[in-house]
Structure 1
Amino acid sequence: MTTNSLITNPVNQYIRTSHTTEWNVHLTQESIYNFLLELVQKCSPEDVLREFRKIFLDCLDSAIADSVPGIYEFFIKTNEQDFRNTLKRCCYILVNNWESNRKYKYIQELVDLFDNYKPIRKNHKFIRINTLKFWLENFINSRDFQELKLCAYRHEDSLKVHWVNRYSSYLLVAQAIDKNNPKEQQEVARKISKQLKDKFKFELAMYIARSQSHTSHKNRYHNPSILGDDVLRLIKAIVVKKGAFSYENIANIFLRQTQNQKIADFKDSLLKYLIFSVQQPVFVDTLRSQLAEKLLTWNPGYDGESLNKDLLLRTCNRVVDYLTTENGKEPAPLFILLLSQGHPLTLVIVLLKIILISPNSRSHLESRIAYLMRYYEKYPEEECQWVINFIEIFSITFAIYAENVEYNLIKMPNTPANISPLPMNLDSFRVFSQMKS
């Protein structure tokens, strides 16, 4: 089919010519997807948006009888959920293509089509038309549409959006690993999440370099964190443990020592590993008692089996749940209890230690952070400062321990010597970051 015929021939005709058997919803959906995929690959974004609007929006407002208009004739035979699933995937077919071709502004224009949609004659005299408009409005007011907006939010001023969307890389991870989402949504969510993380890592490294330089003007560098200049001291506290007792080295030692352990013994070893070198006694006591009670009684049927990669992943994922959210809907009691003690960095370090022994648990952890954000988004930002502070520290810590950036503390000359094994006088140290080869 040529470019011109795609524009001039209605999608309904395309669907009918694709049917070789009697009508069914799955064949109709695939025909619509193929039509849009062909359209977005052969036509200009402006033409695609124009056709998309005609297919899903304008046809409802131009209805002059109680017959079902345009593409909706195929969905009135089924249900609202089939329609929503189809519309959702259609959106991501366009978004995924434009994302890959760096035509980012058209993603925003697609979102704007829905945001600016105001149906003509909302209380239409024809019942079926009202029903279809109701379906469309339900989509615009749904979580599905909010997730679609995340693909465009990164191009907006972060101060103008809801506080949750400042951390949209985690929300996108949750979309990327959700098997119920269309493959196009999973793919584009994965790509945008990585771009946002890379951007944060780069800006953080540049901020560190320039903010410590006497030759850099204060207004020339951008702090990607909302913690202000305190972020430098936080970064020093995070990278202070290097050498033989670095988090990476301890994790490697732990993995070697627990090879082929029985799961019952591994659970006990894991608890000791997580609290090793934690300096806050109350935090340690809470973690030891409350986490042990949950973990040691989890899946007792596996206690006699030897540790393998699958059981390591499942166990670490379960510990992540205990420390964040157990049901994906509300914060875990242990999350609230540990943060109420005022040690967000300590909790973040414990989570980091889990990821260092089970890197494949990272997407699971980040999806749990997303679930926590969704829970707290209904509260005003001023009431969520303790959660926001935790997420900021989490983002910085995991950026520092990213696989392609290395941070080091360097003691500056002409500063007092420190007899402590740890550089407690952090002001006498400078942070340096460099890309790993």
Structure 2
Amino acid sequence: MAQAQQVIYDFLLEIVKIWHPEDVLEEFRHLFIHHTDSVSSQTLPALHVILFANNEQEFRNTIKRCCYILVNNWEVARQFDAIQSLVDIFSDPLIQRRTLSPTLKRLRHWLIRFTESHDFEELRLFAARYAEERTLNRPDEWASRYTSYLLVPQYVNEANPIEQRQAARALSRRLKDKFKFELAMYTAYGQSGQAHGRIIENPTVLGDSAIRLVKAIVARRGDFSYKNLARLFLAQVKESNYGEFKVSLTRYLLYTVNSNPISKQIQDHLDARLVDLYAEFEPQPLDASLVLRTCNRIVDYLMTEDQEQPSPLFSLVLSQGNALTLAIILLKLVLVSRHTLPYLEARIASLIRYYEQFPRSQCQWVINFLEVFQITFAIYGDNIEYNLVKVDPHGRELKAEFLTEHQGVEAFRIFSQTLKHPYTKLPAAVDELIQEDSPFWDEAFLDEE
């Protein structure tokens, strides 16, 4: 069967690179929906082999990978309309038509079950997001604002076809970069409301408080910036054993938020959970694996422990209005374990899936956290650098200056600088999008500010 599957994959890979998308879609329709001959004399017999094997899961794996071969190539070529057209093919009424042919009956039954599956919902997620903002402002579609996170479980799941993982990673990255760019534009021109005669839209749902939030996050610069604190922490624990690392970790995470009354409850909760965590390794020297596993477990404690429902600590922190505190703790966690980020974003996706069953009016506190989280991680991303600039009351000059406790944020404006353009074409060698970046002790994520 593997040989038959490869015949179909190779055919689609060949034509998607040189044919017009409409012609590719027509071939796909002929093969899987109409079940008729195509320009290739080998694909229909190959599909027969798969159907005669009578293994529905293998058929689903086949059609799923075929879809993502097309999606992945069309995404790189920015032929987004074709992706929606691919999803629409599965609405063909022919799939529902009765037939006396045992082969056609099996094919259509499996196609129907595929369209009812979670796999097809993931495919629809791509198409819906490529349709851009047509559903984003509908109250019952609030979760679609966070598609960049909903895509993460697809690309971290190694059971998914490589084409699906590549496409999910690429789209997620593009959406995050788009948000970063729009946030930078809004914070730079938001107070005037327009740039070069064009109105600048607020990419968040926080209203005017978005700019105040950005200023509050950016204000923490210099020697006590979050990146510098992470760097200092890594240097201090590098020679520690694992037991010492666990004790130090919660102190580090809560160092900048310990004036908040909720911090004591967070620390007590984390300390109680960490005391028995991997206790057998406590005398051993700290290594990358232990750091990553520990940081992932802390994400579980702070977000969702069963990957479905919110953890008690998540509900406690947010119910008391501490969205920024939680976002900062998570940022500091990722700054010492960069490979925890995909795991964290997958847990974000789990919580979005849990809360999307409720109306927007019942999820405002969760939406507020998601917006704060997006902004926090956008500011500490790698595309755009933010700075606060002191406004000269006489309007003669702008001067870079750190915010002090005696100054209000109103005296400063946000200056953002694009380090690399977020809409550069994604690399053709999309294998780079899946591979791990660097080992734990590579502090590339902590570049000087």
* TM interval, short-chain normalised: 0.7 to 0.9
CA contact (8 A) 1:411 1:430 kept: yes
SS at match of 2:415: strand
Q: Distance in 2 between matches of 1:230 and 1:421?
A: 20
Amino acid paired to 1:74: I
Q: Distance in 2 between matches of 1:424 and 1:369?
A: 35
Residue of structure 2 equivalent to 1:134: 109
- Whether 2:362 is the aligned partner of 1:383: answer yes
Q: Distance in 1 between matches of 2:98 and 2:245?
A: 63
Residue of structure 2 equivalent to 1:240: 219
- Whether 2:122 is the aligned partner of 1:143: answer no
Q: Deviations over 1:367-402 (max 9, x none)?
A: 111111122222222222211111111111100111
- Whether 2:288 is the aligned partner of 1:312: answer no
- Whether 2:85 is the aligned partner of 1:85: answer no
- Whether 2:276 is the aligned partner of 1:297: answer yes
Q: Distance in 2 between matches of 1:195 and 1:120?
A: 34
Question: Equivalences for 1:210-359 in 2 at 5 Å?
Answer: 210-213=189-192, 216=195, 220-359=199-338
- Between 1:45-54 and 1:313-322, the stretch displaced more is 313-322
User: Which one of the candidate residues 68, 73, 83 is aligned to 1:97?
Assistant: 73
Amino acid paired to 2:66: C
Residues 305 and 243 of structure 1, relative CA distance in 2, 3 Å threshold? same
Amino acid paired to 2:252: Y
Q: Distance in 1 between matches of 2:259 and 2:121?
A: 40
| 1:278 CA drift (Å) | 0.8
Residues 327 and 388 of structure 1, relative CA distance in 2, 3 Å threshold? same
| 1:411 CA drift (Å) | 2.8
Residues 135 and 227 of structure 1, relative CA distance in 2, 3 Å threshold? same
Q: Deviations over 1:194-222 (max 9, x none)?
A: 11111111111111112134774896112
Residues 354 and 215 of structure 1, relative CA distance in 2, 3 Å threshold? closer
- Whether 2:133 is the aligned partner of 1:158: answer yes
Q: Distance in 1 between matches of 2:235 and 2:74?
A: 46
- Between 1:326-335 and 1:197-206, the stretch displaced more is 326-335
Q: Distance in 2 between matches of 1:229 and 1:218?
A: 20
| 1:152 CA drift (Å) | 2.5
CA contact (8 A) 1:59 1:70 kept: no
Residues 412 and 130 of structure 1, relative CA distance in 2, 3 Å threshold? same
Q: Deviations over 1:42-79 (max 9, x none)?
A: 4322111001011111239xxxxxxx999356324222
- Whether 2:32 is the aligned partner of 1:53: answer no
SS at match of 2:35: helix
Residues 216 and 96 of structure 1, relative CA distance in 2, 3 Å threshold? closer
Residue of structure 2 equivalent to 1:118: 93
- Whether 2:410 is the aligned partner of 1:427: answer yes
Unaligned runs of 5+ in 2: 37-43, 395-402, 421-449
Q: Deviations over 1:117-157 (max 9, x none)?
A: 22465455667644432321221122211211232333324
CA contact (8 A) 1:348 1:397 kept: yes
| 1:225 CA drift (Å) | 1.0
Residues 200 and 214 of structure 1, relative CA distance in 2, 3 Å threshold? closer
User: Which one of the candidate residues 157, 160, 177 is aligned to 1:181?
Assistant: 160
Q: Deviations over 1:6-55 (max 9, x none)?
A: xxxxxxxxxxxxxxxxxxx2222122211221222343221110010111
Residue of structure 2 equivalent to 1:14: none
CA contact (8 A) 1:313 1:358 kept: yes
Q: Distance in 2 between matches of 1:181 and 1:204?
A: 32
Residues 386 and 176 of structure 1, relative CA distance in 2, 3 Å threshold? same
Larger radius of gyration: 1
Residues 245 and 128 of structure 1, relative CA distance in 2, 3 Å threshold? same
User: Which one of the candidate residues 77, 83, 106 is aligned to 1:107?
Assistant: 83
Size of the alignment, in residue pairs? Answer: 403
Amino acid paired to 1:334: L
Q: Distance in 2 between matches of 1:209 and 1:363?
A: 29
Q: Distance in 2 between matches of 1:222 and 1:350?
A: 29
Percent of pairs with identical residues: 47
Structure 1 vs Structure 2 CA RMSD:
2.6
| 1:327 CA drift (Å) | 2.5
SS at match of 1:409: strand
Q: Distance in 2 between matches of 1:427 and 1:436?
A: 26
CA contact (8 A) 2:50 2:59 kept: no
Residues 215 and 173 of structure 1, relative CA distance in 2, 3 Å threshold? closer
Q: Distance in 2 between matches of 1:122 and 1:403?
A: 52
Amino acid paired to 2:93: K
SS at match of 1:433: strand
Unaligned runs of 5+ in 1: 1-24, 61-67
Residue of structure 1 equivalent to 2:430: none
Q: TM-score, normalised by structure 2?
A: 0.83
Q: Distance in 2 between matches of 1:121 and 1:364?
A: 40
- Whether 2:316 is the aligned partner of 1:363: answer no
Residues 79 and 272 of structure 1, relative CA distance in 2, 3 Å threshold? same
SS at match of 2:389: strand
